[in-house]
């Protein structure tokens, strides 16, 4: 991978399926909300690539904040651009826990198929949860064997006031909150003492005991990576960033598999 300015890239290789995700800071609930920020308009570069490559289909993933009122105009602009580029476009917000992950993680997907194919993409049905074949996975199902996290695999800093401004702990029988990219802000491990709200934006532990954040190995497992040890080639902070910014593999597989099946059966 070579980071750089995509606007400086003139040519792109041909592909049957184009997949991409532009930076989400402008759309994120926890990110910047300046509607004039240039980072909000990187979808225009994706549109440029789409028109040059002319794939059979494409997939875009981003945070579900893209659909909220203050970003709605940006989402509508993308849909119009992609349709004018010659694609039948569908979009939907999917929750990772409905597709086999022990994590509440809602993400917006935009999928398009070349209009000449005369078919519309259909999003996959949930595989886990009420009405599905299997129950939602829990933290116990996924990270119970990782309880003794090695020193250095998680942020050891004290849990500052901002961290305790909301409840960041889920129990073993629940799904984790959304895995984030900064090791200082990932959720509390279920073995940590429970939290109780004592004031506006203030939570305290209900009993003494060790409290720690998730390790990067646990975050990788919660994200659904099949080989959590694959992230040991960079600094621990960068491991958290790579894991938290990633599309959960099982969720992306479900979206992609449904697309391939739709194309093969056309």
Residue range 186-227, pLDDT digits in tens: 999 999 999 999 999 999 999 999 999 999 999 999 999 998
Enclosing domain of residue 156: 139-245
Residues 253 and 224 occupy one common structural domain: no
Q: Is residue 173 part of a domain?
A: yes
Whether residue 155 is found in the same domain as residue 221: yes
Distance CA 188, CA 42 (A): 34
Residue 1 lies in a domain: no
CATH code assigned at 226: 3.90.120.10
- Cβ-contact 149, 143 below 8 angstroms: no
Asked if 76 and 24 sit in the same domain, the reply is yes
Q: What is the mean pLDDT of residues 20-31?
A: 67
Distance CA 100, CA 138 (A): 9
Q: What pTM value is reported for the model?
A: 0.91
Tell me how far apart the alpha carbons of residues 231 and 92 are, in angstroms, rounded to a whole number: 30
Same domain, 149 and 89: no
> What residues are annotated to the active site?
24
* Same domain membership, residue 203 and residue 224: yes
Q: Are 126 and 157 found together in one domain?
A: no
Element at 153 (helix H, strand E): none
pLDDT at position 69 is 73
**For the residues 3-20, what does the mean pLDDT come to?**
89
Element (H, E) at 195: strand 195-199
DSSP state of 233: T
Residue 155, domain member (yes or no) = yes
SS3 at position 188:
strand
Q: How many domains does the chain have?
A: 2
């Amino acid at each position: 991978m070579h980071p750089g300015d995509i606007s400086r890239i003139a040519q792109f290789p041909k592909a049957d399926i184009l997949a991409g995700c532009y930076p989400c800071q402008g759309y994120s609930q926890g990110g910047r909300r300046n509607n004039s920020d240039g980072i909000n308009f990187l979808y225009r570069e994706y549109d440029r690539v789409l028109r040059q490559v002319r794939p059979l289909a494409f997939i875009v993933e981003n945070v579900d904040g893209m659909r909220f009122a203050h970003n709605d105009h940006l989402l509508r602009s993308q849909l119009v651009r992609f349709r004018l580029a010659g694609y039948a476009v569908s979009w939907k917000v999917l929750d990772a826990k409905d597709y086999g992950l022990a994590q509440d993680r809602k993400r917006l997907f935009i999928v398009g198929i070349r209009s000449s194919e005369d078919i519309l993409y259909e999003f996959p049905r949930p595989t886990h949860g009420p009405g599905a074949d299997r129950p939602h996975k829990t933290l116990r199902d996924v990270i119970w064997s990782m309880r003794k996290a090695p020193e250095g695999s998680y942020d050891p800093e004290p849990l500052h006031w901002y961290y305790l401004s909301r409840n960041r702990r889920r129990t073993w029988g629940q799904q984790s909150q959304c895995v984030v990219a900064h090791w200082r802000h990932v959720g509390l491990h279920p073995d940590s003492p429970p939290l109780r709200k004592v004031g506006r934006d203030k939570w305290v532990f209900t009993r003494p005991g060790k409290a720690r954040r998730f390790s990067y190995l646990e975050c990788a497992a919660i994200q659904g990576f099949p080989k959590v040890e694959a992230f040991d080639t960079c600094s621990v902070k960068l491991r958290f960033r790579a894991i938290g910014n990633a599309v959960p593999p099982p969720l992306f597989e479900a979206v992609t598999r449904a697309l391939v099946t739709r194309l093969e059966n056309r």
